[in-house]
Amino acid sequence: MGLFKRKKEEKKQELPPLPASPGLPPLPEESDSTKLPEFPSPKPTTVEPIEKRTVEMSEPTSITKSAEPIFVKIDKFQGAVENFKKIKEKLKDVEESLEKLREIKTKEDEELDAWDQEIRLIKSRVGNIDDSLFNKIGLD
């Protein structure tokens, strides 16, 4: 029992012959007008040291269209103005909220510093009591 058996050759279908092509028209003869011009050979260049190079800056040119009237529907313009006002109000609200958050954070930091200082003070007092009383009687 072979694992690799040759497949039976199937009948090859023959395609009908292609119709005769009409052929391509003959190429036109080359004339002087169809030849491409030759590029000139490059000239050797010398590179100046950076210190000697001069950089010429040209004035920036602005591309502007001539002042032409722009036609916008009044309702679209009014809608855009309203949206712009809303955006300005939201920005003002965000700035106010940010300022309030900064104030709260400053107060929190001050309060945490005060608590930290109080804890250190209590810790030092407990340490003094421990040293003066309990270490003398042998309790640790």
The predicted-structure confidence for 15-58, as pLDDT tens digits, reads as follows 777 777 667 677 667 666 666 667 777 776 665 555 555 555 55
Integer angstrom CA distances of residue 83 from 5, 78, 91: 79, 9, 12
pLDDT at 140 over 60: no
Integer angstrom CA distances of residue 32 from 25, 27, 29, 69: 21, 15, 10, 54
**What's the CA gap between 137 and 129, in Å, rounded?**
12
Helices assigned H by DSSP within 1-140: 74-129, 135-137
If phi > 0 it is left, if psi is from -120 to 50 it is alpha, else beta; for residue 48 that is beta
Tens-digit pLDDT profile for residues 85-116: 999 999 999 999 999 999 999 999 999 999 99
Enumerate the domain spans of the chain: 72-137
**What's the CA gap between 131 and 129, in Å, rounded?**
5
**What's the CA gap between 2 and 65, in Å, rounded?**
83
